[in-house]
Amino acid sequence: MRISPTKFISLLFLVLSVFYLYTAYNIQVFAFDENAPFNARTFPIYLGWAGIILSSLKIILPEKITTEVNHKHLDYKSIIYLIIISLIYAAVILKIGYFISTSLFLFASYYFLGERRWGLMFILSFPFVAAFMYLLHGLLNIYLRDPFLKYIGVMG
Amino acid sequence: MIEGILIGLSTALSLTNILMVMVGCFAGTIIGMLPGLGPMTAIALMIPITYGFDPSTGLILMAGVYYGAVFGGSTSSILLNAPGIPGTVATAFDGYPMAQQGKAGKALAIAAYSSFAGGTISAIFLLVAAPSLSKVSLAFRSPDYFALMILGLTAISAFSSKGQFLKAMMMVVLGLMLATVGQDSLSDITRFTFNNMNLTDGISFVLIVMATFAMSEALTIIFRGKDPNRAAKQISLTELGSIKVNKEETIKMAKTIPRSSILGFLIGVLPGAGATIASFLAYGMERNYVNEEEKQKFGKGSVHGLSAPETANNAACSGSFVPLLTLGIPGSGTTAVMLGALLGFGIQPGPRLYQTNPEIFWSVIMSMYIGMVVLLILNLPLIPYIARILAVPRNYLIPLILFFSVTGIYLMSFNNFDIFLMIGIALVATFLRLYDFPMPPLILAFVLGGLMEETLRRSLLISDGSPNFLWDRPITLIILLITITIIGWQIFSTFRKKN
């Protein structure tokens, strides 16, 4: 039996709702709140049941409109590259600072999306981020934490 | 009242204050355009600056920033499908498809005209009806608010996509579930954090909106890059198109604007409701008003579908000043920030504001209208330049959207956990979008989650745990009956199509 992707997602949502409901019932509330008409558990419990009912209905009821996705047309390679460099960016932003990490992230993103105009890629990464930082930090006075630039004395 | 209007005009039309409105509108538009930086951030940024001015000038500047940021938010909704604020999410439903069809300039012009008209009409309402309207908002109690939020969520699910009601309702529940992560507002008990300290304060709205709209949109464009149909759409995205609105479109706008203005203003008056519910309800209402042929165009670039939320969100902005100025209760998150600013000036908003500081009350009302005019004069000629953001090739546009998304999150917390969380949510959202699970219901549910739980808590405590609060008050009952009608209609239309 072939299960449609929509029904499979609904099944995952059902599992999530069951887990959510189980966690909701296990929320520790104060002893005096245990039998109150409303405590920290009440709303999540309603939501858990709503999730179970809705996802079950979606699984049980026949699909009126089926959503077909042609996987041959999906660009998995680019998306995996982008996700990996985004994860690396998130991992290093605090360590090497906003300026360098963001500039490198932009440069790498342009490269992996097929751009090869090196001059434009450079301008739209390092000087662009510097200008953006000046706008935020220098003109709008929005604090932008960058330990590296602070260390070399560029930022206060 | 005439005396008050004259006081307001004389204050608002001083050279300094006109300059402040202009600066506010321009700065607000620029900040509001950046995904993640909405009116709340823009106004919060202005608070330290305004302390150097007298209270009315400071408030006029903030009002200008407010309207500018709402317009700026609409711009990023239309051009990038990346709403900076929840109030402009509905704008993207038809604004973004119009931009994809090469009518970005026209979509922005329709948004500007609708915002202007909605703001103007509601400023007149505010002028005439402010005192009596405060009584309407006073009449609303927690059960009514709870019912109103249920109605808003059901309405958005109903119109989010044809035949996808259950999918949309699942997204509503997912949005509400995400909103429950973190500390419970009353008891401070942590929920669904799994002992992770980064989740104690909950998940921020900006993170969710960036992940489900901006980042997920960017990933979807890349993901579907090999799809020949999608590729064609992407090419047409670079066409700016004319900003001229033809006669037929003007007639459509003329029909939509009055009803959306009234609805937007009335919703804005209700404390806590604000521009988000107003724009979604106006979109839903408009869809019900138009004929079958027009109905089919909704979600595909309908003029009615774009004009309605744009009119309503600006009308609601004016409406939200009613409870703020007359009751001291903020009508939205943004007016809550303004309430903080007023208190900083040593002004306590409330019924006595008329007597104690009439110049503040009336000058803010008058400056709203002036703000609308300035916004139109300032932004309309700039539309072709603003729209040029679309001409950026995909290879540059996608990384820049990702960059703005990450920067928005980084600015908020300086914490890389939030960036990881955003990437994770964006990935899930991308797959959900691929299979037509709509994201707007999730966003609205997430925004309303906290308030919904609070109103349910109050209602249940008042009724001692009994569900009687759902039908005890006529207003609650009427709103719930409307909700049931919408659900019934969805079931009926599904059944009818099957046969």
- Give the distance from residue A108's alpha carbon to the nearest chain B alpha carbon, in angstroms: 9
Looking at the predicted structure, is the pLDDT value of residue B97 above 60? yes
Can you list the positions of beta strands (E) in B117-273? 182-183, 190-191
Alpha carbon distance, N-terminus to C-terminus of chain B: 60
DSSP state at residue A155: -
Q: Parallel, antiparallel, or unpaired: how do β-strands B182-183 and B190-191 relate?
A: antiparallel
What's the whole-number mean pLDDT along residues B323-328? 68
Given this model, what pLDDT does residue A80 score? Answer: 92
Are B222 and A29 a contacting pair at CB < 8 A?
Answer: no
* Nearest alpha-carbon partner for B435 in A74, A50, A60: A74
Residue A69 lies in a domain: no
Show the tokens assigned to B339: 């309430």
- Give the distance from residue A65's alpha carbon to the nearest chain B alpha carbon, in angstroms: 7
Are B410 and A86 a contacting pair at CB < 8 A?
Answer: no
Cα separation, B457 vs B437, in Å, equals: 30
Are A91 and B416 a contacting pair at CB < 8 A?
Answer: yes
Counting the structural domains of chain A, the total is 2
- b/e per residue, A11-43, with b = 16+ CB within 10 A? eebbebbeebbeebeebebeeeeeebebbbbbb
Cβ–Cβ contact A147 with B under 8 A: no
Q: Is the pTM of this model over 0.80?
A: no
Cα separation, B46 vs B208, in Å, equals: 25
DSSP SS3 for B190: strand
Helix (H) / strand (E) containing B168: helix B165-179
Are A142 and B399 a contacting pair at CB < 8 A?
Answer: no
| CB B332 within 8 Å of CB B274 | yes
A147 and A79 share one domain: yes
Looking at the predicted structure, is the pLDDT value of residue A138 above 60? yes
Cα separation, B439 vs B160, in Å, equals: 9
Q: Of A126-130, B27-31, B51-55, B285-289, which gets the smallest average pLDDT?
A: B51-55
A96 and A34 share one domain: no
Given this model, what pLDDT does residue B257 score? Answer: 92
A111 and A52 share one domain: no
Residue A67 lies in a domain: no
Burial of residue A92, with CB atoms counted within 10 A of its CB: 0-12 exposed, 13-18 middle, 19 or more buried:
middle
Given this model, what pLDDT does residue B137 score? Answer: 58
A81 and A38 share one domain: no
Q: For A141, left (φ over 0), alpha (ψ -120 to 50), or beta? A: left
Are B411 and A5 a contacting pair at CB < 8 A?
Answer: no
Q: Of B294-298, B324-328, B427-431, B458-462, which gets the smallest average pLDDT?
A: B324-328
Residue range B448-466, pLDDT digits in tens: 788 789 889 999 998 988 8
Residue range B212-235, pLDDT digits in tens: 877 887 888 888 776 655 544 443
Residue A99 lies in a domain: yes
Tell me the backbone φ, ψ of residue A103, rounded to 5 degrees: -60, -45
What is the pLDDT of chain B when averaged over all its residues? 79
Q: Count CB neighbours of A64 within 10 A.
A: 13
Given this model, what pLDDT does residue B60 score? Answer: 80
> Of A60, A84, A102, which one is at a domain's C-terminal end?
A60
Q: Which amino acid is at B112?
A: A
Are B416 and A78 a contacting pair at CB < 8 A?
Answer: no
Per CB-CB distance under 8 Å, the chain A contacts of B216 are: none
- Give the distance from residue B162's alpha carbon to the nearest chain A alpha carbon, in angstroms: 9
Domain range for A33: 5-60
Q: Residues near B37 by Cβ (< 8 Å), separated by ≥ 6?
A: B31, B69, B84, B408
Residue A65 lies in a domain: no
Are B187 and A86 a contacting pair at CB < 8 A?
Answer: no
Helix intervals (H) in B357-473:
358-379, 383-386, 394-413, 416-434, 440-462, 469-472
Residue A68 lies in a domain: no
Looking at the predicted structure, is the pLDDT value of residue B358 above 60? yes
- Please give the residue that has the higher pLDDT: either A47 or B70: A47
What percent of chain B clears pLDDT 90, i.e. is strictly above it? 14
A11 and A45 share one domain: yes
Burial of residue A74, with CB atoms counted within 10 A of its CB: 0-12 exposed, 13-18 middle, 19 or more buried:
middle
Number of helices (H) and strands (E), helices first, in chain A? 7, 0
Q: Residues near B129 by Cβ (< 8 Å), separated by ≥ 6?
A: none
- Give the distance from residue B42's alpha carbon to the nearest chain A alpha carbon, in angstroms: 10
A82 and A140 share one domain: yes
Q: What is the CA radius of gyration of chain B?
A: 22
A55 and A84 share one domain: no
Given this model, what pLDDT does residue A27 score? Answer: 93
Residue A24 lies in a domain: yes
Cα separation, B115 vs B69, in Å, equals: 12
DSSP SS3 for B463: coil
Residue A92 lies in a domain: yes
Cβ–Cβ contact A67 with B under 8 A: yes
Looking at the predicted structure, is the pLDDT value of residue B498 above 70? no
**How many alpha carbons fall within 13 Å on the CB side of residue A142?**
21
| CB A28 within 8 Å of CB A66 | no
- Give the distance from residue B182's alpha carbon to the nearest chain A alpha carbon, in angstroms: 11
Confidence of residue A128 (pLDDT cuts 50, 70, 90): very high
**Alpha carbon of B73 to those of A137, B42, B262, B428: distances in Å?**
22, 11, 22, 25
Cα separation, B291 vs A133, in Å, equals: 50
Residue range B369-390, pLDDT digits in tens: 777 888 888 777 776 676 565 5
Residue A100 lies in a domain: yes
Residue range B406-450, pLDDT digits in tens: 887 887 778 889 999 999 999 999 999 888 888 878 877 887 788
Q: Count CB neighbours of A80 within 10 A.
A: 11
A28 and A87 share one domain: no
Per CB-CB distance under 8 Å, the chain A contacts of B176 are: 47
How many contacts does A have with B, using Cβ atoms within 8 A? 173
Q: Residues near A118 by Cβ (< 8 Å), separated by ≥ 6?
A: none
- Please give the residue that has the higher pLDDT: either B462 or B347: B462
Cα separation, B109 vs B80, in Å, equals: 16
Dihedral (CA of B456, B328, B140, B41) sign: negative
Task: Show me where the domains of chain B are located.
Answer: 2-498
